[in-house]
Structure formats: C-alpha cells, structure tokens
Amino acid sequence: MIKKTFCFWLFLMCMQAAVHSQPILELVPHISGIDAPVCIRHAGDQRLFVVSKFGRILVADSSGTLAATPFLDLRQRVRASSDEQGLLGLAFHPNYKENGLFYVNYTFGSGDTRVSRFEVSAADSNLADPASEKVLLTVDQPFANHNGGDLHFGPDGYLYIALGDGGAGGDPQRHGQNRQSLLGKMLRIDVDTGDPYGIPPNNPFVNDHTTRDEIWALGLRNPWRFSFDRQTGDMWIGDVGQSEYEEISMQPAGSSGGENYGWRCYEGNSVFDLFDCPPASSLVSPVYAYDNTFSVGQSVTGGYVYRGSAFPLLQGHYVYGDYETGRMWSLMRNEQDAWVNMPHGQLLQPKQISAFGEDLKGELYVAAYSADKVYKIQEICSALIPVVEVENSMLSSSTQGVSYQWFLEQTPLNGATSQTLLPAQSGTYSVEVLYDNGCRLRSAPFVYDPTALEPEAAASIRIFPNPMREVAQLEFAQKPGQPFELRIYDLSGRLIRRTTGIRAASFTIRRQDLPPGMYLIEVRAEALLRGRLWVQD
C-alpha cells in the first residue's frame, strides 16, 4: 500500500488557505490575582512580568504561577488616584541579563510623570532593589488623564517613551503640536550615555532650536500602548481618540523620525481644529481608524504583531483591542498591499482590555483590567489546516469537517463535496474544509501525478529529531548513487538553503542560519518529497 502526504506549510500558502476565513481567536486564562494589570513584559527568559497600576510589578513563571513576593513594590511612591494615573510602563534593558537594569514610568506627587531606572537584586532574580531608583525624566502633567506611559527599547537600543497630550479634552493647552513640550509626543533617549540620559545624535530635531531634542514624533493624543514588530522593527501605536475615531498608526522601520501624526489638527482623517496647524500634506494619517461608538469601541489599546510559531494563520497580523468594549481586531496587508481590518468579536468579558504583551517566543497575551487576570491569546484554526493525502490514487482531506469542496487549478469541481476525491486527470488539487467551530480553510496545493505514485518510484522522508535544536537527520529511500537536491524554505516562501549533488540517503541539517520557527524541507530526486521541520530555541 502506497501512502504519501504532502504538507506545504509555507506562510503565503497558509494565508491563501485562510482567504475564506479570518483567524478565529480565543482567550485562555493564564495568570490570576493581579490588581488592575496594565502592562505585560518578558525579560529575555520564560517569565512574564505584569504591572499593576497601583504600584507593583509581579512576576510569573512559564505556567502562570505568581511569585509570592512582588518583583518591585512602589505603592508608596506612585500616585494612582485617577483612572489613568499609576505605575504605567515597564521596559527591560536590551542587556538586562548582563546589567540587571530596567525602566518604569509612573505618576507621582501631584500627578506628574516620572521615568526611572532600577536594578534587579544581586541575590534574587525575582526581586528588584527599590533603593536603586535613578530618576531620568520628570514631566509636568496639567491634568490627571492622557499620561500615555508606555516604554519600549527599539531595535536601535534606544528607549522610546510615549506621552499623552496632558489631558482634559481636546488638548486645551495645545501640547500635541507644541514642539517645546514633551506632551503629546514619542520621545527617544539614550540611557547608556549622559547623565541622567543622552540624546541620540540622529534624533530628528537635534539641530532644530524650535523643537526639543528628545522628540522622535509628535501630534499624538494619548498613545496608551505601542510596540515594535520584533521581525521588521516597525513601530505600531494605538492612539486613543477624542470622541469620533480611535487610531492605529504605524511608523516603518528605517524611519528617520519626525513624523507628525496630526493631533489636534485632525482626529483620524477628519478635521478637528486647524488653528496654527502645518499643511495637511506634512501630516501622517493612521493606517486604520475605527468609529468611536458604544457598539464598536471608545478607547483603543494598541497591541503587537504576532511573530510566534504556534499559530501560522495569525503570523504577521497586528492584534489590538478596545478597552471599553472588550472587542479585538487584527490588521494585515492583503495581496494588493492594502490594510485589511479583521474583527474577532467581543472576546473579553468583563471588558477593559488594558494591555497586550508577548513572551520570549512571540506568543501573545492580553490583560483584563477589572478581572485582575492575564489571558493567553490562541488562534483555533491554525491546527486545522487540511492536508491533501493520496492513497491508491484516491485523494482525501487529512481533517474531518462538516463540509468539503475540492478544487482543480483553483476552480471548484462540481459535486466534489466529500472528504475523498478520485481525480479524473493530472493537475493541481486542493480542498476547502468547513469546521463546526466556523473555521473554513483551504489546503495547500497538491500536484497529482499518477506516475509518481508507482511503487518503484515511491520514496519516504524522515526528519529527526523534530523539533530540532542544533541538528536534525534527514533520511529517505533512494536508489544507490542517485543524486538529489535539498532545499529549505522559511514561512515567507524564501529559499534559505540549496544543496545539490548529494548522493547519500542520509543527510545532516545543521541549524546555523535557521532561527526558531517552521520550515519546509524539500528533496528533489525521482519523486518530489516535502516535510516540515520545527526549529526550537
């Protein structure tokens, strides 16, 4: 009996498989018992650090179990009397494993913003030294709201600080466009030089006496949460709107900074107040804006681009949500290079999505403010991507669903609606499966060639160990001395490695330039063989 399975897990093909159904997300409880969580971070290991806005940073192991003692307790220093005040941001130094330094953003005293540096305890990696505080930056806050508060180190090693416009409503003191004010801005500082910090020499306004040197971008209302795409370096900003629109802005990697995102001249793409505003052509519009309504959302919470490996269908999606309604969405470019916003429903009950986070491997989490919990985000369709199998010239779907549709060269075949298909001709086949959970997924293309299925031409491929860490062995049946070609592709379809003229039936694959993730292994001999390889950290 001859049975072969062809599994194309290339990202582009998986995205094609998902054309008929967007990723379906669900939330799984991961950490409980955190009072008002507002920030989730990792420190380069398996732990998650969760910030409580009332002044504590708690640490959980990989299973979600909290340490008995907080990592850092600043409740005596933090002012958290208003809904938008408190301990708001956390960032670990890129060299945290070596220097033990991390940075926080909190409101203190009368409600002003303070950005400070702390050190981890030398005796216990789950404890920080509260006496090690060094204040880097203090910013006056005229009102209690719109503090921003998020912190991230960029791919360039500099610390980025998001600050809101100072609060009230409508930016009454016009901080968003005031280049001498740090409010309503994205700041960029060098924490490794200067005292208390240095200015990166390539900051966009270093030689402009009209603008503060720390400013990286301006025209923001309340950039409550932002992030960097760990793969591309793009910056994503969730900017809370006034009363009409909630905004998602994206600054591409490689930008030299200086973008003006338009507040308070514009809200979304609509005019708000054009008094003393620069030309509209000099402003940067959001990549997406949604209506501020009770039924959609009223306070955007910026998220992350998914770069984990557990859910291929979610790969490359920017996942974000709304604090007021608990709804979540994801943004993704389509084949025409246009942004497509995909709704995932009201996933969080009670509502109040206060923050997103990612762990060391790029898997995503969401903080539920009033539920005092952190949830892990799962995508339930990825595990159901069907694979076309062939046995005795009969094609079949590897997964069972409630309905099926077979395609030949991308054209649906009339009456081909069962799990199996007896092909009438050679060609490229695929099958679309509808599942009872709502997932509708298309398999990768399968090239059907009856001559390749004859016993004398049949071959098998074996990859072990799989997943691999440093090396994996590839074995397959092959005529003695028959040369073959080995190809390795990544999830984007890019050819990573090509080796020709191999004659041995056993071949060692070394990690070398293969970062953690999933790869397609292709052997081109008498029969075309494909398998998938997981590379672990």
The tokens for 221 are 């209302």
User: CATH number for the domain including 408?
Assistant: 2.60.40
Between CA 7 and CA 463 the distance in angstroms is 14
Q: Is the pLDDT of residue 501 over 90?
A: no
For residue 377, the model assigns a pLDDT of 97
Q: Is the pLDDT of residue 13 over 50?
A: no
For residue 335, the model assigns a pLDDT of 78
Q: Of 357, 380, 403, which marks where a domain is finished? A: 380
Q: Is the pLDDT of residue 49 over 90?
A: yes
For residue 489, the model assigns a pLDDT of 77
**Do residue 402 and residue 423 come from a single domain?**
yes
**Do residue 326 and residue 474 come from a single domain?**
no
**Do residue 155 and residue 132 come from a single domain?**
yes
Whether the CB-CB separation of 7 and 14 falls below 8 Å is answered with: no
pLDDT band at 143 (very low <50, low <70, confident <90, very high): very high
Q: Cα-atom radius of gyration of the chain, to the nearest Å?
A: 26
**Do residue 466 and residue 349 come from a single domain?**
no
**Do residue 453 and residue 464 come from a single domain?**
no
**Number of structural domains found in the chain:** 3
Q: Is the pLDDT of residue 386 over 60?
A: yes
Between CA 16 and CA 445 the distance in angstroms is 10
pLDDT band at 393 (very low <50, low <70, confident <90, very high): confident
**Do residue 469 and residue 444 come from a single domain?**
no
Q: What are phi and psi for residue 12, nearest 5 degrees?
A: -65, -35
**Do residue 217 and residue 150 come from a single domain?**
yes
Q: Which of 53, 89, 82, 56 is nearest to 71 (CA)?
A: 56
Contacts of 381 by beta carbon, 8 Å cutoff, 6+ apart: 18, 21, 23, 24, 313, 435, 437, 439, 441
Cα distances from 199 to residues 152, 209, 223, in angstroms, run 16, 14, 22
Q: Of 380, 408, 427, which marks where a domain is finished? A: 380
Parent domain of 141: 23-380
Single pTM value for the model: 0.81
DSSP letter at 72 equals E
pLDDT band at 19 (very low <50, low <70, confident <90, very high): very low
**Do residue 259 and residue 357 come from a single domain?**
yes
479 or 185: whose pLDDT is higher?
185
Secondary structure (DSSP) of 457-521: G---EEEESSSBSSEEEEEE---TT--EEEEEE-TTS-EEEEEEEE--SEEEEE-TT--SEEEEE
Q: Find how far residue 108's CA is from the centre of its chain.
A: 31
Between CA 370 and CA 373 the distance in angstroms is 8
pLDDT band at 37 (very low <50, low <70, confident <90, very high): very high
Sign of CA dihedral 75, 45, 328, 183: positive
Question: Could you report the per-residue pLDDT of 70-81, keeping only the tens digit for each?
Answer: 999 999 999 998
**SS3 assignment, position 48:** strand
Q: Which residues pair with 519 in a beta bridge?
A: 533
Q: Cα dihedral angle (441, 445, 448, 452), rounded to 10 degrees? A: -120
Question: Could you report the per-residue pLDDT of 451-479, keeping only the tens digit for each?
Answer: 654 433 334 577 888 778 788 888 876 66
For residue 412, the model assigns a pLDDT of 96
Q: Which of 2, 105, 1, 76 is nearest to 453 (CA)?
A: 2
**Do residue 469 and residue 329 come from a single domain?**
no
Q: Which of 101, 95, 91 is nearest to 42 (CA)?
A: 91
**Do residue 373 and residue 500 come from a single domain?**
no
**Do residue 415 and residue 484 come from a single domain?**
no
482 or 91: whose pLDDT is higher?
91
Q: Cα dihedral angle (267, 271, 276, 278), rounded to 10 degrees? A: 80
pLDDT band at 106 (very low <50, low <70, confident <90, very high): very high
- Overall average pLDDT of the 179-184 stretch: 98
For residue 229, the model assigns a pLDDT of 98
- Overall average pLDDT of the 355-359 stretch: 98
For residue 11, the model assigns a pLDDT of 33
User: CATH number for the domain including 268?
Assistant: 2.120.10.30
Proportion of the chain above pLDDT 90, given as a percent: 70
Q: Of 422, 443, 458, which marks where a domain is finished? A: 458
529 or 332: whose pLDDT is higher?
332
User: CATH number for the domain including 520?
Assistant: 2.60.40.3080
Among 16-20, 153-157, 367-371, 483-487, whose mean pLDDT is lowest? 16-20
**Do residue 453 and residue 463 come from a single domain?**
no
